[in-house]
Chain A
Amino acid sequence: AQSVTQLGSHVSVSEGALVLLRCNYSSSVPPYLFWYVQYPNQGLQLLLKYTTGATLVKGINGFEAEFKKSETSFHLTKPSAHMSDAAEYFCAVSEGGADGLTFGKGTHLIIQP
């Protein structure tokens, strides 16, 4: 069975600083990996996804993530944080089955002015 671990339930960075949100996964088959973002009182919005091919994937709002098979990681980064990036971020994994995604517990990103 697949699983996802997000390191750090809360991450605080200064505006303009590098954002790094960590995600490690376990999967018995080559996984599909996702990052979703959730703004207060809203549903989840897809930020980016890795399916096959290039291991560095770019998403919306300047975010990117790199799939590292040897480290079973899919960390999310953004070079320069903006106040509008403050939100909850979820990493998720799929093995392509009908039962949807397995999510991590989420990381709350706080942006300090």
Chain B
Amino acid sequence: DVKVTQSSRYLVKRTGEKVFLECVQDMDHENMFWYRQDPGLGLRLIYFSYDVKMKEKGDIPEGYSVSREKKERFSLILESASTNQTSMYLCASHSPAGINTGELFFGEGSRLTVL
């Protein structure tokens, strides 16, 4: 089974702090994604990566950056956290090999609170 692991389930940070959210997948998937989930808004794509050191902006990249130094690891970075970034963050991965249906495999989520 595919396993996507997010390092922190719950974080509390202060405004202005730098925040790192880490995600690791163990199925050699090429593509990895960071989504943000808010009540009534569903999941919104922040960034995705289709290869090591490659990244693409999603729908809401402002205030975020990402890093993909190794194939299995995809990090989301908040350079200076703000209260409007309080949210649930979900990491996902998939492999486009074969029939690429787009099916995603998700981690458990990281709930970030910024005070």
The answer to whether A and B interact is yes
Q: Please give the residue numbers on chain A whose beta carbons come within 8 Å of chain B beta carbons, in ascending order.
A: 9, 32, 34, 36, 41-46, 49, 51, 90, 94-101, 103-106
Residue from A9, A44, A49, A97 having most chain B Cβ neighbours under 10 A:
A44
On chain B, which size bracket covers the interface? 20 to 34
Which segment, of B13-21, B69-77, B78-86, B100-108, faces chain A?
Answer: B100-108
Given the complex, which residues of B lie within 8 Å of A34, measured CB to CB?
Answer: 102-103
Main secondary structure of the interface of A (DSSP, over half): loop
Docked pose: A46 CA to B109 CA in angstroms: 15
A99: chain B residues within 8 A (beta carbon): 45, 48, 56, 58
Interface residues of B, Cβ cutoff 8 Å to A: 4, 9, 31, 33, 35, 40-43, 45, 48, 50, 56, 58, 90, 92, 94, 96, 99-109, 111
Report B-chain residues with C-beta under 8 Å of the C-beta of A97: 100, 102
State the total of A-B contacts with C-beta under 8 angstroms: 68
Q: Which residue of B lies closest to A97 (CB)?
A: B102
CB contact under 8 A between A100 and B40, given known A32-B102, A44-B90, A49-B103? no
Contact pick for B111, options A41, A51, A104, A106, CB 8 Å: A41
Do A45 and B104 touch (CB < 8 A)?
no
